[in-house]
Amino acid sequence: MIEIRDLTKRYGSFTALDHLNLSLEEGVVFGFVGANGAGKSTTFSILATLLSPTSGDAIINGKSVIKEPKEVRKQIGYMPDFFGVYDQLKVDEYLDFYGASYGIGAAERKVLIPQLLELVNLTNKRNEYVDLLSRGMKQRLCLARALIHDPKVLILDEPASGLDPRARVEMRDILRNLKSMGKTILISSHILPELAEMCDEIGVIDNGKLIAHGNVASIQAQLQGEKRIVVKATDCLKEVREFLEEDPLISSIDVMDNRLEIAFNYRGTDDDQVALLKKAILANLPIYALSEEEKDLEDVFMAITKGADNQ
């Protein structure tokens, strides 16, 4: 469905994208992860036919972004990381304008717009002015706009950035819905857990190079190495700490007295973790929760890139 070949983009002496190669099947949800400025938005801009690459090409559903940009535009729905809306325009007029911009007939638009508003839960906002909507609603409206010409591929640049948790969950539900409709979806984010829940494949980009590509679990393991685990106890933190210190797979123990929590780094496998939990329960420790701490990808990134520099 999507074939990126040796894609390179240079701005003067700065290389934003360095011979990027990527191939995606139809119906895949692909998460593009990388620190800010790693090249995610540049890649997406090229795919959205807004930017010409310095060299290389990208083929979307058999059409080249360089040779047939107009054909590519029919295949893709693009949502930029930052976007504005027209004030003085109502929600349904907003969609009507973009529908017309894709050459969809007036009668067809009339049928389509209520369906799209239904899909993104904005039916009751139909007659409101677009600039009065909340950020989450604007984001959903923009997604509806990207879908108006029924594209095969969706390119979403940081769709969840700046959203509150509730809006994030809503956005995720919509994307899950779209996935079930068979769309190929590309999402970028700088937070790995955000993508992990909904992506089939993940690609990690750093300094314009794709440094990893695969399914979610393998990438997460590859990037994180050690897990950070938090245990919660109702009491006896001292005893819990002593118990943990005995395990050779555990390091960097932090006790948070005020919250009755202990966090530590764990090198073991999932099976080791099961054994640890069993042992703790048998030792009669008042532990009521043991969970993996979600790491912000940028922290992991900082560590990885720092390591690469030192070598």
The CB-of-51 to other proteins minimum distance in angstroms stands at 5
H helices present in 197-236, as ranges: 216-224
Nearer to other proteins, 129 or 250 (CB): 129
Residues that contact other proteins, how many (by CB under 8 A): 34
Sole window of 27-35, 79-87, 262-270, 278-286 interacting with other proteins (rule: CB under 8 A): 79-87
- Give the separation between CA 72 and CA 47, rounded to whole angstroms: 8
Q: Between vectors from CA 58 to CA 53 and to CA 213, what angle results, nearest 5°? A: 105
Residue 103, interface with other proteins (CB under 8 A)?
A: yes
Closer residue to other proteins (CB): 102 or 286: 102
Of these, 21, 23, 55, 101, which contacts other proteins (CB under 8 A)?
101
Burial letters for 265-283: b for 16+ Cβ neighbours within 10 Å, e otherwise? Answer: bbebeeeebeebeeebeee
Q: Least distance from C-beta 181 to other proteins, angstroms?
A: 20
**Which position among 25, 37, 62, 86 is part of the footprint of other proteins (CB under 8 A)?**
86
Q: For residues 18 and 38, what is the distance between their CA atoms, to the nearest angstrom?
A: 11
Token pair recorded at residue 113? 């717009």
Q: Half-sphere exposure of 152 toward its Cβ, with a 13 Å CA cutoff? A: 15
x/- track of binding to other proteins for residues 17-56 (CB under 8 A): ----------------------------x--xxxxx----
Are 154 and 182 a contacting pair, CB within 8 Å?
no
Query: Given candidates 19, 74, 172, 228, which one binds other proteins under the rule CB under 8 A?
Result: 74
Of the candidate residues 18, 27, 61, 85, the single one contacting other proteins (CB under 8 A): 85
Member of 23, 25, 26, 67 binding other proteins (CB under 8 A) = 67
From CA 21, how far away is CA 46, in angstroms rounded? 13
Q: Establish if 259 lies at the interface with other proteins (CB under 8 A).
A: no
- Between CA 207 and CA 235 the distance in angstroms is 47
- Closest CA relative to residue 187, chosen from 16, 20, 44, 58: 44
List contacts with other proteins (CB under 8 A): 45, 48-52, 66-67, 69-70, 73-74, 76, 78, 80, 82-86, 88-89, 93, 97-98, 100-103, 105-106, 142, 145, 149
